[in-house]
Amino acid sequence: MRTLAIILAGGAGKRMGAATNKQFLLIDNKPIIVHTLQIFESCRSIDSIYLVVNQKDLPVIQKEILETYQFNKVTKLVIGGRLRQDSVRNGLEAIEGPCDIVVIHDGARPFVSPSFIEKGIFLMEMFNAVIPALPAKDTIKAVSKEGFVSKTLPRDSLWQVQTPQTFKYELIVKAYRDGMAKKLYGYDDATFVEHLGKKVKVIEGSPYNMKITTPEDLIIAQGILSQLKGAV
């Protein structure tokens, strides 16, 4: 079984308000994307990594990331698209050779563990699509464009979705091709699988597996890293 990871590192990170791509911001003196890649590099079930990047970031990725840190499993750099779903599609279409399982992960989530990645891959023996999520803790309300509550949603059925999302290769390729042809907007990768009418298995994620998006997230991320290092 050949398992390939697609890691997305091409986002502009506008909400971060930084002059550089958020993937290159430092946590514990290392770029965020390096933390993420090191986890996937150490995961025994991952055979190859396709790193999806912004065209303008190619020189930085080559020199400051790949040459400096020597990632053996990063076998291809793929240029991303305008939207996240365009970047994932580019990654899927760039796959060469045999592939059985695809793991798709946000590069700005540097605290997933190798064992958790392994869990999603192991579950491919029983399911075709597996995603991690956390039960919503707060009350969620749908709000109109005018700023008024239109509906209070039942919290017990709401989950906050994370990555890595793991799929059988043939299913996720078909789902993306079909969804993009129909001009669907995918909030995450599983959205396209759902539009095919296929079941998506949800497993409980980790509160540590945050996506670094804002300056406040960087402070939280540094605290998480300190706690994780202290636990070792």
Please give the pLDDT value at position 80: 95
- What pLDDT does residue 232 have? 54
Residue 193 in any domain: the answer is: yes
Range of 69's domain?
Answer: 3-131+159-231
Domain assignment present for residue 64? The answer is yes
What b/e readout covers 161-176, taking b as 16+ CB neighbours within 10 angstroms?
bbbbbbbbbebbbebb
Give pTM, 2 decimals: 0.94
The DSSP code sequence of the chain is: --EEEEEEE----GGGT-SS-GGGSEETTEEHHHHHHHHHHH-TT--EEEEEE-GGGHHHIIIIIIIHH--SSEEEEEE--SSHHHHHHHHHHT--S--SEEEEEETT-TT--HHHHHHHHHGGGT-SEEEEEEE--S-EEEE-TTS-EEEEE-GGG-EEE-S-EEEEHHHHHHHHHHHHHTTPPPSSHHHHHHHTT---EEEE--TT-----SHHHHHHHHHHHHHHHHH-
pLDDT of residue 226: 85
Is residue 141 assigned to a domain?
A: no
231 Cβ neighbours under 8 A, 6+ residues apart: none
Angle CA(56)–CA(8)–CA(165) in degrees, nearest 5? Answer: 170
Answer whether residue 140 is part of any domain: no
Residue 226 lies in a domain: yes
List, in sequence order, every residue forming a beta bridge with 142; answer none if it has no partner. Answer: 151
Residue 151 falls inside a structural domain: no
Q: What is the pLDDT of residue 26?
A: 92
User: Is residue 150 domain-resident?
Assistant: no
Q: Domain of 54: which CATH number?
A: 3.90.550.10
- Please state the domain count of the chain: 1
Using alpha carbons, list the distances in angstroms from residue 201 to 48, 93, 162.
24, 24, 13
145 in a structural domain:
no
Per-residue confidence in pLDDT tens, the chain, 232 aa: 899 999 999 866 665 656 667 889 999 999 999 999 999 999 999 999 999 999 999 999 999 999 999 999 999 999 999 999 999 999 999 999 999 999 999 999 999 999 999 999 999 999 999 999 999 999 999 999 999 999 999 999 999 999 999 999 999 999 999 999 999 999 999 999 999 999 999 999 999 999 999 989 999 998 998 888 766 5
- Phi first, then psi, for residue 18 (nearest 5°) are -95, 160
* Cβ–Cβ < 8 Å for 157, 118: no
